[in-house]
Amino acid sequence: MFFKKTLSTNKQEKEKSKDADNIIPTNRERMSLEFRRRLQNSADIVETEVPGTGITLFYFHTLIDMNLLHKDIIEQIKNQSFHSIENIMGQLSVGIMDKTNQMDKVIQSAIGGHVIIHLEGADKVIYARIASNTGRALSNAINESQVIGPQIAFNESLSTNLSLIRKYIADPNLSIEDIRVGKRTTTAVSLIHIHGIANQQMVDILRDRIKKINMDGLIDSSVLVQLIEDNSLSIFPQMVLTERPDRICSWLLMGKLVVMVDGSPQAIACPQSFLEYFQSMEDKNVNWQVATFLRLLRIFALFLSVYFTAIYVASLTFHYEVIPQTLLIPLSESRARVPFPPIMEALIMEFFIELLREAAARLPTKVGQSMGIVGGIVIGTAAVDAGFTSNILIIIVALGALASFTTPNYSMGNIVRVLRFPIIVLAGFWGFYGIMFGFCFILIHLLRQSSLGTPFLTPFYPPRLADWKNSIIRLPLTFTAKRPNQTRPEDVDKYNPSVAKEKE
Amino acid sequence: MDIQYQPKPQLLLSTFLVFFIIHDIQVGVGIQGFQRIIFLEAKQDAWISVILSGILTHMIVFIMIKTLQYYGSSDIYGIHHDIYGKWIGRMMNCLYIFYCLVTSLVILKNYIEVIQTWMFPQVPTWFLSISLLLLVVYGVTGGIRVIVGVSFFNIVLSMWMLGLIGYPIRYSDYTHFLPILESNIPAILKGTFKMTFTVIGFEILYVIYPHLKEKNKVQKFAHLAIAITTILYLLLMLLAIAYFSSGQLEKSIWVTLSLFKIVKLPFIERMEYIAIAFWMLIIIPNIMLYLWAAVRGMNRTFNINESNFIWIFSLILFISSLFLNTRMKINTFNDKFALAAFYLVYCYPIILFVFVLIKKKIKGFKEKQI
Amino acid sequence: MIKKRILAVYLLAFFNLTGCAEPQILEEIGLITTIGYDEGEKGLIKGTAVELKIEPDAKTDIKIVETQAYSVRGLNTSANKKTSKRLLAGQLRVILLGEELAHQRMLHISDTLAKDPAISDLSYLSIVEGEARDLLNLQDPHIPNIGLHLFRLIEQNTKDEIMPSATLQEVLHRYYSAGRDPFIPILKKIDNSEVKFTGVGIYKDDRLVGRISTDQSFYLKLINDKYKAGSTELIFMSESPKLRGLSHSERKTVISLDTIHSNSDIKLVNKKNLEFDIKVKLNARLIDINSDIDLTKSSNLKLFEKEVSKEMEKRVENLIAYCQSKNSDIIGLGEVYRFSVRNSKLTKKKWHEMYPNAKVNVKVDFTMMRSGIND
């Protein structure tokens, strides 16, 4: 099952001659030669002969745990004699091991962190997994940090990540499916869903999409997203990446599908709606009034950040009539010394803010902070003093940038910032008409998108009133006893609402 | 061609969306200035004309849906084919397609006229026309679900405009309505007739009907939409009569927009500028729906690929929008269109209904004989 | 697919270059905040515009631009010749009409302005005693921006219900009603340092035919509209000695009323002989009286209320008599006639023939709500 894909492609290439070559040589010398030849005579190949047994171990010393090798394998079999490999297997106490007579399999296992146990004269070899765990320990969620709720984040090891999920959801129906992606990297990709909740049709579609990928290597889940989402030409991502196991688990329980990639600390979840990018895990952990307030705040921030600068530009360039009398004089005073038209002024300032942000993100944390101070205060004030921009614009641009940071999802936050630029340009050329044109375009574009076949703007369109209870507002848990229609779940009820209400 | 038309399941729409479709398409371009036209006929009793036109519309919609229900899941193109046979049916279909296109043109052109008068006198027509049509094409190529989505969001997102009505209310004088029923009945009926231009749009039912999931609920939501539209028009009519004096009302062209002129918020004044720009969201789905209906007609009648015709029709719309360039031409065009629309939207459904009844009778008679 | 995209980018660039709207960038235009019109020689209109001109190095924010032309629009064109920035009227807030011009051309000017979509319907109209030009050229160190000063002055007084509201919308609304005539407040420059609200000009159709004083304008609003929180001062000769004022030389009674709350009701009682009943209900707080009458006594209070009502009735009657003599129906009795009589087919002309002979009965019902914190 594991290597079905690789095997089948290999077979097609070198059909007949290969079949014979693929059998394991019983002779140790020939085995060694063949092993080294296939692995390009790599410098980290080690051959260890276990004294007095006729057993030779083949492995990459860079991939396996040397302690385990000694303790669990060499110590167990040394100074004994074996007649068959089955005997050896009986002696070993390694969890994952098997035997094979196929050379391809041997090579794959060796790459995957197995040690190959070769007994002189036997027609099969054992491969036992004692891979070393190089990687970092679990740490706090930094990109999606929150105050209330679990603090842990995924790391780069797939098995650790899966164990985190298993810990949250101890359900026999949790299904983890292994798929290999990448001709050369053969990266392990896990497709996770809860059987009985997730829509089986969606699972099939997603599995199909992952299997159809034909590329040489897959390093990170963010690349996988671009390969499997519905419309990768759109600026909006239709599948979400998260580093929070609690988030993934709550989504699994909603009936969503999760894809994890070995070596990537971020899991993919889908189907995802546009609105969910503006929901945070924390919304579930605080009480519903506060959660509703925060969600409304974020939606307001979205509009503020995309349109505020554009409205400034449009009003000052075309529609001076709409400026209230009280703002008229301060606005004209601050604009009087600026040598550029509003659109240039706004674009320069936005560009400046983006530079600051990007620079701060690339620098080490401590330097980044001082960077913000230098940029924000020193250059900002200097720009106004020099008559480079108006101070009102600085406030507006800063507010817009601040608002864009409230977006809980990092990639959506980036998109919100990028969207601002075309809108400003439109506003600078055609005023309110241009802004509205941009708005309509984005609206139609969003309506055209789907995530795994689910409309992207759900639950607003197609309207599912029942799901509005947990959208830009969040009602108490007793009101949201059903799973959202978005995932078309096979089991609709999260819990029985009547029971949940009876607290006394 | 097939008389019956059963769209794919993923193209079906929840029936209650018909509410948004009809309400949206009715509240299109006429709403900006219908008050004056009616007022010229029926004076301070213009609001009675609005109510009458609402009632009339309810009746026509009832007949339309009854006609459609005889066929189960078919649209006007299929019914034409069934009633008139192949050739006359095709002719009638072409007429209907032509009507849809002309309506799109009227909507497009009237909006452009508002923009050019109010905001950008210098921006050329071709530019506004192209920019709007690009949005329309982008939406229509997305299919019926996207189009209905836009009209849904249009209604949800333009709710705030209702709040603006509060401002002119403060300056209203309710004695303007008195004495009630001073105008004679013919004048009021004439006002009702003039309302046609404003309330048309519900004939989209003829085309959208097969896409609705539960056909038995269509009546309910369609009538609800008509009722809400009528209430909205009534509200705006009453407000216009109360806010403006008769001489003013007879002079202003876009009464609804003039009502917004006095809205003044602490951070923004002159709300009509925002409202005019925002009107784009109201216009776009209307043109989309009509364009879609026309393209669907081509597909049903001649079995031609839809996507090409979206472009071809848009091009036709674009070119014809360039020819209607003065206020005079637009007004004449509007008047002629209103008359044609009255016959097609208000009279024709009754005739069609009678034809369908006769046809069914004959068919039933024949079947009995066999 | 990609070709289409490239094409789209080219198209977009093309639009940018050709379809661009003409910008009106805030600091590159001269904003007219106030404009005054005066009668010039040989039918010319003299326009005086206050241009808001923010220059970082200039002492004042405004510049007065004076020019002459035959039409209102022409003024704009010829004023442009004098300024470094294009003059636009989208922020126009106050329209001043010189006395001479106000007699004849008020309608022409307001109609032209109302037609322009850029001009707000909420701009205030005012008549200036003398020349508008003169008023706008007022020099006072405490009034650095005459346009803003005028706007605030009018706005404040209108909000406090001292000045009758006359925005562009309201004036045109009255003019275009069949049974109503417009009125516009009058401003006057005093000693080259102050502007004062001195009266209200009343119109017959579009002709300025007379003026009423600021005191009378209180009664105009009283019958025309509702008071929510007005205030007034009433000086009268009381019949009862109890109420005679102590401090006044002629022993006239002086009272001050505050938080006036009123509503009025006009009824047509006789269609043939044209007779109207005006009932005004008015309650207020007494804040000052110059006699030593003890108002805690109910008989005294009744007397007081009756006296005040009577005095007010007299004044309203005077106001109406004056308006009738000038044939100007600023109260809107014609509207009452129009909506009370079926098929009246009332026109302005018809009404002006009937109006001077109408009989008006006035009834004022004054109630004192309270009197300050001490009795």
pLDDT digits (tens, 9 = 90+) for A261-286: 988 999 999 899 999 899 888 888 88
Element (H, E) at C6: helix C2-18
Structure tokens belonging to residue B212: 């609705």
Q: Under 8 Å CB-to-CB from B201, ≥6 apart: which residues?
A: B22, B25, B26, B28, B286
The answer to whether the Cβ–Cβ distance between B247 and C15 falls below 8 Å is no
pLDDT at site C160: 81
In chain C, DSSP assigns E strands to: 29-39, 45-52, 62-69, 86-88, 94-98, 124-128, 183-190, 194-204, 207-213, 227-236, 253-270, 275-289, 359-370
Question: Which residues from C are below 8 Å from A431, CB to CB?
Answer: 21
Contact assessment for residue C180 and residue C266, using Cβ atoms and an 8 Å cutoff: no
Rounded to the nearest integer, the mean pLDDT of chain A is 84
Residues of chain A contacting B273 with CB distance shorter than 8 Å: 319, 321-322, 432
Q: Does B327 touch chain C (CB under 8 A)?
A: no
On whether both C303 and C172 belong to a single domain, the answer is no
Closest CB to A440 among B265, B273, B281 = B281
Asked if residue B313 lies in contact with residue B294, where contact means CB atoms within 8 angstroms, the answer is yes
Rounded Cα–Cα distance for residues A358 and A363 (Å): 9
Question: Beta strands C94-98 and C29-39: pairing type?
Answer: parallel
Strand residue runs (E) in C54-172: 62-69, 86-88, 94-98, 124-128
pLDDT per residue as tens digits for the range A36-85: 888 888 888 888 888 777 788 888 888 888 888 888 888 888 777 777 77
Spell out the SS3 assignment of chain B. CCCCCCCCHHHCECCCHHHHHHHHHHCCCHHHCHHHHHHHHHHHHHHHHHHHHHHHHHHHHHHHHHHHHCCCCCCHHHHHHHHHHHHHHHHHHHHHHHHHHHHHHHHHHHHHHHHHHHCCCCCCHHHHHHHHHHHHHHHHCCCHHHHHHHHHHHHHHCCHHHHHCHHHHHCCCHHHHCCCCCCCHHHHHHHHHHHHHHHCCHHHHHHHHHHECCHHHHHHHHHHHHHHHHHHHHHHHHHHHHHCCHHHHHHCCCHHHHHHCCCECCCCECHHHHHHHHHHHHHHHHHHHHHHHHHHHHHHHHCCCHHHHHHHHHHHHHHHHHHCCCHHHHHHHHHHHHHHHHHHHHHHHHHHHHHHHHHHHHHHHHHHHC
CATH number where C261 lies: 3.30.300.210
Position A500 confidence tier, pLDDT thresholds 50, 70, 90: low
Does the interface ipTM go beyond 0.85? Answer: yes
Of A81-85, A418-422, C326-330, which one has max mean pLDDT?
A418-422
When divided into structural domains, chain C yields a total of 2
* C210 shares its domain with C355: no
What average pLDDT does this structure show over A145-170?
89
Q: Which among A319, A441, A457 has the least Cβ separation from residue B135?
A: A441
Cα(A471)–Cα(A457) distance, integer angstroms: 11
CA distances in angstroms from A89 to A62, A112, A493, B63, listed in the order given: 24, 19, 48, 83
Q: What's the pLDDT score for residue C41?
A: 82
A114's enclosing H/E stretch is strand A114-119
3-state SS string for A486-504: HHCCCCCECCCHHHHHCCC
Residue C14 lies in a domain: no
Instruction: Indicate whether C209 belongs to any domain.
Output: yes
**Residue C2: inside a domain:** no
Residue C343: count of CB within 10 angstroms of its CB: 9
| Distance, CA of C32 to CA of C119 (rounded, Å) | 11
Q: Contact at 8 Å (CB) between B256 and B33? A: yes
Taking residues C184-193, report their average pLDDT: 87
Which residue does chain C place closest to A323, by CA atoms? C91
What mean pLDDT is predicted for residues B151-161? 89
Partner residue facing B149 (CB), from A324, A326, A461: A461
Q: Does A319 touch chain B (CB under 8 A)?
A: yes
Statement to judge: residues C247 and C181 lie in one domain = no
Q: Are C215 and C269 contained in the same domain?
A: no
The number of beta carbons lying within 10 Å of the beta carbon of residue C258 is 17
Name chain C's partners: 3 or more CB pairs within 8 A. A, B
Rounded to whole angstroms, the Cα distance separating B222 from B202 reads 8
Which of C195, C223, C251 finishes a domain?
C223
CA–CA separation, C86 and B339 (whole Å)? 45
Clarify whether residues C231 and C189 are in a common domain. no
Ordered by where they begin, the domains of chain B are 9-322+346-362 (1.20.1740.10)
By Cβ distance, the residue of C21, C24, C54 closest to A430 is C21
Choose one of C206, C223, C240: the last residue of a domain.
C223
pLDDT of A149 > 90? The answer is: no
Q: CA C215, CA C199: separation in Å to the nearest integer?
A: 8
Task: Please tell me what DSSP assigns to residue A46.
Answer: E
Residues with Cβ within 8 Å of A397's Cβ and at least 6 positions away in sequence, in order, are A309, A346, A349, A350, A353
Average pLDDT (C331-340) is 86
**Cis status of the peptide bond prior to A459, with omega within 30 of 0:** yes
Say whether both C156 and C280 belong to one domain: no
Residues C359 and C277 in one domain: yes
CA distance C119 to chain A (A): 8
Using a CB-CB cut-off of 8 Å, the residues of chain B touching C117 are 117-118
Contact A328 C91 (CB under 8 A): yes
Tokens of C162: 């001292």
- What pLDDT digit, counting tens, does each position of B307-361 carry? 888 889 999 999 998 888 788 888 888 888 888 888 988 899 999 999 888 888 8
Contacts of C208 (CB under 8 A, 6+ apart): C102, C103, C106, C127, C201, C202
Query: Tens of pLDDT along B229-256?
Result: 999 999 999 999 888 888 888 888 888 8
Predicted confidence (pLDDT) at residue C265 exceeds the cutoff of 70: yes
Predicted confidence at residue A392, as pLDDT, reads: 87
Asked if B281 reaches chain A (Cβ–Cβ under 8 Å), the answer is yes
- What is the reported pLDDT for C308? 85
- Beta strands C183-190; C194-204: pairing state: antiparallel
pLDDT (mean) for A92-110: 82
In angstroms, the CA A103 to CA A111 distance is 13
The reply to whether C355 and C330 lie within a common domain is yes
Alpha-carbon separation of residue A363 from A259, A367, A370, A407, B351 (angstroms): 31, 6, 10, 22, 76
Q: pLDDT exceeding 70 applies to what percent of chain B?
A: 98
C54 and A CB contact within 8 Å: yes
Concatenated DSSP letters for C198-226? EEEEEEETTEEEEEEEHHHHHHHHHHHS-
* Residues 6 or more apart whose Cβ sits within 8 Å of residue A427: A310, A311, A313, A314, A317, A343, A434, A435, A438
Query: Cα-Cα-Cα-Cα dihedral of C202, C207, C210, C212, to 10°?
Result: 10
Give the tens place of pLDDT for each residue, B107-127.
Answer: 999 899 889 888 888 888 888
Cβ neighbours for A438, distance < 8 A, ≥ 6 positions apart: A310, A422, A423, A426, A427
Distance of CA A293 to the CA centre of its chain: 28
Pair (C197, C124) in one structural domain: yes
Residue C62, both tokens: 């405004």
Within a domain: residue C5? no
Judge whether C23 is closer than 8 Å to chain B, CB to CB: no
- Read off the pLDDT of residues C35-76 as tens digits, 9 standing for 90 and up: 888 888 888 888 888 888 777 777 777 888 888 888 888 888
Fill in the amino acid letter for B334: N
Average pLDDT over residues A187-191: 91
Distance CA C105, CA C103 (A): 6
C212 and C230 part of one domain: no
Distance CA(C117)–CA(C269), nearest Å, equals: 43
Q: Which of B138, B142, B269 sits opposite A322 (nearest CB)?
A: B269
The residue among B241, B248, B265 with the most chain C CBs within 10 A of its CB, best to mutate, is: B248
Confidence band, pLDDT 50/70/90 cuts, at residue A93 = confident
Calculate ∠ Cα C52-B264-C120, nearest 5°: 55
Instruction: From chain B, pick out residues whose CB is under 8 angstroms from the CB of C343.
Output: 182
- To 10 degrees, the CA torsion angle through B355, B358, B363, B368? 170
Among the listed residues C335, C103, C111, C135, the one whose alpha carbon sits nearest the alpha carbon of residue C202 = C103
Q: How far apart are CA A426 and CA A432, in angstroms?
A: 9
Both C47 and C71 in a single domain?
yes
- Identify the pLDDT of residue A504: 47
Q: Give a yes or no: residue C60 inside a domain.
A: yes
Closest to C276 measured CA to CA, from C216, C204, C363: C363
Q: Is the pLDDT of residue A464 over 50?
A: yes
Q: What value does the mean pLDDT take over residues A419-432? A: 91
Domain boundary among C186, C203, C223: C223
Both C65 and C125 in one domain: the answer is yes
pLDDT at residue A6, as a whole number: 47
Instruction: Tell me if chain A has a CB within 8 Å of the CB of C29.
Output: yes
d(CA C133, CA C46): 8
Query: How far is Cα C123 from Cα C94, in angstroms, rounded to an integer?
Result: 5
At A18, is the pLDDT very low, low, confident or very high (cuts 50, 70, 90)?
A: low
Tell me how close the Cα of A442 comes to any Cα of chain C, in angstroms.
Answer: 16
* pLDDT exceeds cutoff 50 at A480: yes
Split at pLDDT 50, 70, 90, the class of B56 is very high
Helix, strand, or coil (residue A157) = coil
Please tell me whether residue C254 adopts helix, strand or coil conformation.
strand
Angle, nearest 10°, between helix axes C72-80 and C106-115? 70
Closest residue to C342, CB basis, from B130, B179, B246:
B179
Best B146, B155, B287 member to test A by mutation, with max A CBs in 10 Å, is B146
Query: What is the per-residue DSSP string for A192-227?
Result: EEETTTS-HHHHHHHHHHHHH---S----HHHHHHH
- For residues C225 and C294, what is the distance between their CA atoms, to the nearest angstrom? 33
Q: Identify which of B29, B12, B2, B19 has the alpha carbon closest to the alpha carbon of residue B199.
A: B29
Q: Please, how many CA atoms are within 13 Å of residue C353, restricted to the half-sphere of its CB?
A: 4
The domain in which residue C209 lies consists of: 25-223
Q: Which residues on chain C are in Cβ contact (under 8 Å) with A429?
A: 16, 20-21
Instruction: For B135, name the nearest residue in chain A, comparing CA atoms only.
Output: A441
Contact assessment for residue A256 and residue A202, using Cβ atoms and an 8 Å cutoff:
no
Quick check: is C6 in a domain? no
